[in-house]
Structure 1
Amino acid sequence: MLTHSSYALALVILAQVAPAETKSKPLRSPSEVRKAFLTMLDRPKVPLDLKVERSETSPDGFTTERLSFASENRADGQVERVPVLVVRPPASKEPLPAVIVLHGTGGDKEKMKSWLVELAERGIIGVAIDARYHGERAGGSVGADAYNKAITRAWRSKPGAPQEHPFYYDTCWDVWRTLDYLETRADVDAKRFGMIGISMGGIETWLAAAVDERVAVAVPAIAVQSFRWSLQNEQWQGRARSIGAAHQAAAKDLGEADVNARVCRALWNKVIPGILSDFDCPSMLRLFAGRPLLILNGDRDPNCPIGGARLAFSAAEAAYQAEGASDHLRILVAEGVAHAVTPDQHQAALDWFTRWLASTKPKDKQP
């Protein structure tokens, strides 16, 4: 039973998430979607204030760097800093391509180091960051605890209060700032940026890369889906379980005994606004058309139900065909595989970056 205070909170939250996105609306054009997403996440840029913690070079010439930069000034007056891990190939006379690698929910940049090493072995600078409320940014907590708490705070924020978007969107801003940082490096070719992300990191990849044309090549892994489709077809459970504590908190605030589609819709509309319409994956993939895109999914993935994923595949295929660039799109769906990247998909991702980034600029590379 709702107490008076929790009932009042529920009314406030429901007022903020209305109108709910219950009816299908025509999607805006790619240019309009790009502008809307960038405008929603825009905030004042601050000087990068780069701080290099340490740099170590192995006997075979590979260099590992640990550093951080300033991303933004927070509403509480603190500077939001992004911890970065870089693995660089042996010294080259020419600037090298760079690929940003994003981890999944509860992970951190350290878990992506093997990817960075494999990229460096192919002549590509590998770069990983900690997402918001993960790794060094989790305040000492482990896994996704700090992340769930941040999403819950964002859900419960009151009208007029500063609104965080820790669920994907704020990390997109950090990705764009990472690109700003990489552009300052003399050893990086700013025309050859790539991105790959796993799960949560894959969602952040198709969101951030879609609107930032500095990203020449992208690989969203176990991330392509349709949030709208999952609600319409009662297949939201996998995504909700990935940050279960935040969804349970929202259910309690709304007077629901457990998480359901109504809870997901209300929470998503509040903390990731637009994800059920213009900023859903089938819409956002249109914005990447023409640039090399490799999509990795499993057909048994409960977090990315294949029915919704197929809507995104079709949207991408149509957009690439319209651009005359169907050969720049590849979709690999692993049969019988749930929420995991297979060894073959892992290898395909590395080969994709080698093909389009390692030896020449993407626009000059022939299929």
Structure 2
Amino acid sequence: MENVTLYLFAILIFFAPLPEVFPQTQSPMKKTENKEVQRKKLYQLLGRLPDRERPITAELISTEEKDGVIIEQLMLDINGQELVPAYFSKPKNASDQLPVVLFNHSHFGQYEVGKNEFVKGRKEMQSPPYAFALAKEGYAGLCIDSWGFGERSGRAELDIFKEMIWQGQVLFGMMVYDNLRALDYLVSRDDIDQDRIATMGMSMGSTMAWWLAALDERIKVCVDLNCLTDFHTLMEQGDLWLHGIYYYVPDLLNHFTTSSINALISPRPHLGLAGEFDPLTHMEGLKIIDKNLQKVYEKDGAPDAWQLNIYPVAHEETAEMRKDILQFLRDWL
């Protein structure tokens, strides 16, 4: 526990805000740099990453039909360092190319769960699990085990973080890389409509969703559930300890705010959902992000494409949230 405390203290010092240069009231987007330049800068902050062009291979481990849904269990070679287990789902009777949702699993300190959240669900989320909820709507889905989770669990998250730092890598960067390559895999499939791709997730999966959508314009719709956290507000409230070690990207706040990262998604549709009593997403920070993104989407000519819904709950998905998510996907995907 002492080591974790020291690490978080070091991160707190390292990420101290620079108000005289990058105040909270700063514009969500530097006027002198276009979004493509910003995306390249954001990607470069993610550490030493494998080649984005390295070949991808996928092995089909098994195929199962359940409740009218085809579930493929896959083993993906996407990073050259360790194989990545995944679930792919689609409606049983689908014949045409399908819209697809790249689903990002959550954390909750439950490392054994990982991608199983997608097909088996979890108590913090509604039923049915998203593999089945999405298939019922006519969507395919893909979810991979992130570093240290599911079939990739067994090593402590903090140990993975430390080892990667020594090698010039960033844990969150490697997580983002795997999901971007998972997207590359998706667009290679004959049963996927490349023009209708969404990403979504809850908690850690929420953060992954808006990072992915910010970095890759192939993602047409973004839904983030319960983790649209304003970094500066998190520091001001003294709550850095609430987020896992994976969350922290070196040098990030010298270049970006939460708002400026999410501004890279505009004008593509983006739904944020948050709990009023969720300690991970302070209301003060949500107001800052909402105000900034309203301006960005207005400027980009898509004022209706950004939505932030607040619910009187904590860190969980409610039936109302599930209903709103599925409706947003129907409207925009």
User: TM-score normalised to the size of structure 2?
Assistant: 0.82
Match of 2:279 among 302, 326, 329: 302
Cα separation, 1, equivalents of 2:196 and 2:211: 19
Residues 345 and 278 (structure 1), Cα distance of their counterparts in 2 relative to 1, 3 Å cut: farther
Amino acid at match of 1:50: A
Amino acid paired to 1:205: A
Q: Is 1:148 matched with 2:191?
A: no
Alpha carbons of structure 1 residues 218 and 19: separation in structure 2 relative to 1, 3 Å: closer
Task: Tell me the equivalent position of 1:348.
Answer: 324
Structure 1 residue 317 and structure 2 residue 294: aligned? Answer: yes
CA distance in 2, matches of 1:349, 1:184: 26
Kept in 2: contact 1:101–1:196 (CA 8 A)? yes
1:190 match: secondary structure: strand
SS at match of 1:326: coil
Aligned in 2, Cα 1:14/1:226: closer, same or farther, shift over 3 Å? Answer: closer
State how 1:241-252 maps to structure 2 within 5 Å: 241-243=242-244
> How far off is 1:338 after superposition?
1.7
| Equivalent residue number for residue 88 of structure 1 | 90
CA distance in 2, matches of 1:339, 1:61: 31
2:59 aligned to 48, 51, 58, which one? Answer: 51
Letter in 2 for 1:227: F
Q: Determine whether 1:137 maps to 2:152.
A: yes
What's 1:39 paired with? Answer: 44
Distance in 2 between residues matched to 1:226 and 1:32, nearest whole Å: 22
Instruction: Looking at secondary structure, tell me which structure has more helix per residue.
Output: 1
Identity of aligned residues (%): 25
Give CA deviations for 1:252-273 in whole Å, capped at 9, x if unaligned. Answer: xxxxxxxxxxxxxxx97xx512
Does 2:112 align with 1:97? no
Give the CA deviation at 1:334: 0.7
Q: Secondary structure at the match of 1:276?
A: helix
Instruction: Call closer, same or farther: CA 1:115–1:219 in 2, change over 3 Å.
Output: same
> How far apart, in 1, do the equivalents of 2:234 and 2:15 lie?
19
Q: Deviations over 1:17-38 (max 9, x none)?
A: 8695433426644333211022
One-letter code aligned to 2:160: A
Q: Is the 8 A contact 1:198 1:220 kept in 2?
A: yes
Structure 1 segment 182-197 matched on structure 2, within 5 A: 182-197=186-201
Matched, 1:179 2:183: yes
Q: Which residue of 2 aligns with 1:253?
A: none
* Structure 1 unmatched ranges of 5 or more: 74-78, 247-266, 358-367
2:310 counterpart SS class: strand
Verify the 8 A CA contact 2:273 2:308 in the aligned structure 1: yes
Q: Deviations over 1:236-256 (max 9, x none)?
A: 2xx51343xx5xxxxxxxxxx
Distance 2:326 2:10 in 1: 45
5+ unaligned residues in a row in structure 2: which ranges? Answer: 120-128
Question: Residues 51-93 of structure 1, C-alpha deviation per residue, up to 9 Å, x if partnerless?
Answer: 11101234x64211000211223xxxxx322211111112333
2:59 partner letter? K
Q: Are the aligned partners of 1:225 and 1:310 in contact in 2 as well (CA < 8 Å)? A: no
Structure 1 CA distance for aligned equivalents of residues 15 and 193 of structure 2 = 45
CA drift of 1:132 comes to 1.3
**Would you say 1:66 and 2:73 are equivalent positions?**
yes
Per-residue deviation, 1:128: 1.2
Which residue number in structure 1 is paired with residue 126 of structure 2?
none
**How many residue pairs get matched?**
302
Deviation at 1:184, TM superposition (A): 1.1
Instruction: Say whether 1:272 aligns with 2:249.
Output: yes
Tell me the distance in 2 between the aligned counterparts of 1:68 and 1:345: 32
Amino acid at match of 1:129: I
Question: Greater CA radius of gyration, 1 or 2?
Answer: 1
Equivalents in 1 of 2:139, 2:162: separation in Å? 38
Q: Indicate the residue corresponding to 1:284 in structure 2.
A: 261
Aligned residue for 1:109?
115
